[in-house]
A and B are shown apart, each in its own frame.
Chain A
Amino acid sequence: MAGLILQQLVIDVPGRASGTPLDIHVQPGQVWGVLGPNGAGKTTLLHTMAGLRPARSGQVVLADQPLAGWRRKALAKQLGLVFQERQDGFPATVLETVLIGRHPYLSPWQMETAQDLTVAREALQALDVAHLEERLVSTLSGGERQRVAIATLLTQAPAIWLADEPTNHLDLHHQVAVMQLLTQQAAAGRAIFMCLHDLNLAARWCDHILLLYPNGDACWGPAARMLVPAALERLYDQPLVTVEVEGAPFFVPRK
């Protein structure tokens, strides 16, 4: 079975009740958005779904096999993650950074081939950072770094994309460009699952929504059913005004 399946999954947020166990099937072609206030566990959920953090209970299944049974290298070809926080460690150029996305495909003795280089350069092109190829990542702006991180995932080319606030630091045009890229990837048969802070981006681009409440409660389903003002007001504890623009709801915080 394709896609990523959460079975009775309870993420481990210290000091919080278990709340609603998640039973979600993230299918190829779908674009999922996770909404929730700060501290609701969005990042923890993504890390758990990538097998980087143990769940409190339940499991995440990929191709009939729980993540725990996967070898990391094989898993990295199927599932990738854009982190919200990145460590720079040692200085590296943009091209070097994006090229590490090929790591799971290369044997220990192998150097990157010309083809790997092409994949990496195409990813840089797609994210509009090709001109920065030789720059050190540490000298880039926040938005440029964010695009380099997404280009790295594009280079990794997994079937399942997890992204932690992929539009962070991006200007309006690049927010749209990134959301378009993600929906194109979904249309090409990949499954996209991302955390977002911007309700309106979610409303415009996501077809499925998961609402995570700070107390561990959760509800999920098709976007049209989830993005209702009452649920969102309770989620953020913030009164909203809703208008309709181009057939999609548009949410503005009430003063």
Chain B
Amino acid sequence: MPRLLLPLLTLTIAALAAMVLSVSYGSVPVPVADILAVLQGQGSELQRTLIMDLRLPRTLSAFATGGLLAVAGALMQVLLRNPLADPYVLGLSGGAAVGALTMMLLGLGGLFISSAAFAGALLATLLVFGLAHGMGSWTPSRLLLTGVVVAAGWGALITLMLALAPAQRLPGMLYWLMGDLSYARTPAPALLVLLLTCLLVIPLGRSLNVLARGPMQAAALGVSVQPLEWTVYVMASLLTAVAVTTAGSIGFVGLVVPHMLRLVLGNDQRLILPACALAGGTLLVLADTLARTLIAPEQLPVGVITALLGVPTFLYLLSRSR
């Protein structure tokens, strides 16, 4: 047990520290003491608005989105037994983007964009799974190939929409495509999904460890392979859909966070999955803090920051791994 608890405790502390940093840092800095006061219902009116209505929801949204993407990535990698799989590889974000951009082209905002993105992501999931199923049973490589090709199709549609879009709508569309947390005001649904997922994946963890050794071996060791694979697929898709709906498509978190953790912590899914939730969340909170402060008052797309932070860290860990 301590083998699992120590890393998770460390990551929890890191996550809390990142969140405090993110809430206190910005155009108007708020000292940590004031944050605590506001959380207890005290503090000035201005600070209350700043923290409770603006920064805290955004920070929590960033945490939830990052956590969801990292867990979804880890699940996809086990399901496809391919270390290069990420939540977007099966064309999920493409479907979501086409949905969201359509609404933007029509001039609709807010809830329309979110629901269209969610519907698009689920449509993409069903499309890929239906096509990959085809005539016979699906194999990881077939699912992966179908996903990649469908994603390329979505990519063409997205380019077409960008080419046709009127100039004044382009910045919003581009920001959505690169990931944008500035409209993420309601972290509750994403946080709730993340929490439920963590509770659900812990009992699934050991079965996933066995599944990582291939479906035949897993079946011989008592895993009901098909129901498990379905559960994982549906779960990873839902997590990605919720994340994309919250913050647009943010690349890299789902691919890199699980790998970084595997390099350091090994491959026990019971540890890796909750650790992904914490570390993915922390990464995105930090990235979003940088995105909104580096060239303030302008904001950078958070997807650029995740990549800029993630690439060197990942390469460093990879070069010194066994």
Contacts and interface: CB of A to CB of B under 8 A. Distances in A.
- Our verdict on whether A and B bind, yes or no, reads yes
Contact of A92 (B83, B216, B224, B267): B267
Contacts of B210: 100, 103
Given A72-B223, A73-B222, A76-B220, A109 B202 contact: yes
Nearest to B221: A103
Interface stretch (A2-10, A81-89, A181-189, A228-236): A81-89
A24 to B, nearest CB: 20
A103 B203 contact: no
Interface in B213-245: 213-214, 216-217, 219-224
B220 A83 contact: yes
A71 B77 CA distance: 27
A104 B203 contact: no
B203 A109 contact: yes
Interface residues of B, number: 30
Interface string B188-221: 0000000000000011101101101110110111
B322 interface: yes
Nearest to A75: B222
Contacts of B207: 103, 108
A109 B203 CA distance: 5
Interface in B278-322: 322
B207 to A, nearest CB: 7
Contacts of B202: 109
A104 B206 CA distance: 10
Contact of A52 (B4, B206, B220): B220
Given A52-B216, A90-B212, A104 B222 contact: yes
B221 A89 contact: no
Contacts, number: 83
Contacts of B203: 108-109
A77 B268 CA distance: 22
Contacts of B322: 91, 136
Minimum-distance CB pairs A-B, first 9: A76-B222, A108-B203, A104-B222, A87-B214, A73-B222, A89-B212, A90-B267, A81-B220, A103-B221
A42 to B, nearest CB: 15
B143 to A, nearest CB: 16
B185 interface: no
Interface in B60-99: 77-78, 81, 83
B106 interface: no
A51 B216 CA distance: 10
A109 B200 CA distance: 10
A1 interface: no
Contacts of B223: 72-73, 103
A251 to B, nearest CB: 32
A128 B109 CA distance: 66
B261 to A, nearest CB: 12
B214 A72 contact: no
Nearest to A109: B203
Contact of B221 (A71, A93, A109, A156): A156
